[in-house]
Chains A and B, each alone.
Chain A
Amino acid sequence: GQNIDQPTEMTATEGAIVQINCTYQTSGFNGLFWYQQHAGEAPTFLSYNVLDGLEEKGRFSSFLSRSKGYSYLLLKELQMKDSASYLCASEGFQKLVFGTGTRLLVSP
Chain B
Amino acid sequence: DAGVTQSPTHLIKTRGQQVTLRCSPKSGHDTVSWYQQALGQGPQFIFQYYEEEERQRGNFPDRFSGHQFPNYSSELNVNALLLGDSALYLCASSWGGSFLNEQFFGPGTRLTVL
**In the complex with contacts A95-B58, A101-B42, A43-B105 CB distance below 8 A:** yes
Question: In chain B, residues 80-114, which have Cβ atoms closer than 8 Å to a Cβ of chain A?
Answer: 90, 99-100, 102-108
Q: Which of A44, A95, A100 has the most CB of B within 10 A?
A: A95
Number of interface residues of A (CB under 8 A): 23
Contact pick for B105, options A42, A48, A50, CB 8 Å: A42
The distance in angstroms between the C-alpha atoms of A98 and B107, with both chains bound, is: 18
**In the complex with contacts A43-B43, A100-B42, A30-B56 CB distance below 8 A:** no
The yes or no answer to B33 lying at the interface (CB within 8 A) is yes
The yes or no answer to B40 lying at the interface (CB within 8 A) is yes
The distance in angstroms between the C-alpha atoms of A91 and B92, with both chains bound, is: 15
Contacting residues, chain A, for B90 (C-beta < 8 A): 42-43
Contact B106 A42 (CB under 8 A): yes
Measured CB to CB, the closest approach of chain A to B2, in angstroms, equals: 14
Contact pick for B107, options A42, A87, A95, CB 8 Å: A42
The yes or no answer to A104 lying at the interface (CB within 8 A) is no
The distance in angstroms between the C-alpha atoms of A30 and B48, with both chains bound, is: 16
Contact B99 A94 (CB under 8 A): yes
The distance in angstroms between the C-alpha atoms of A108 and B104, with both chains bound, is: 31
The distance in angstroms between the C-alpha atoms of A10 and B43, with both chains bound, is: 20
- Nearest 8 pairs of A and B residues by beta carbon: A98-B42, A42-B105, A94-B56, A91-B99, A45-B102, A98-B43, A100-B42, A101-B42
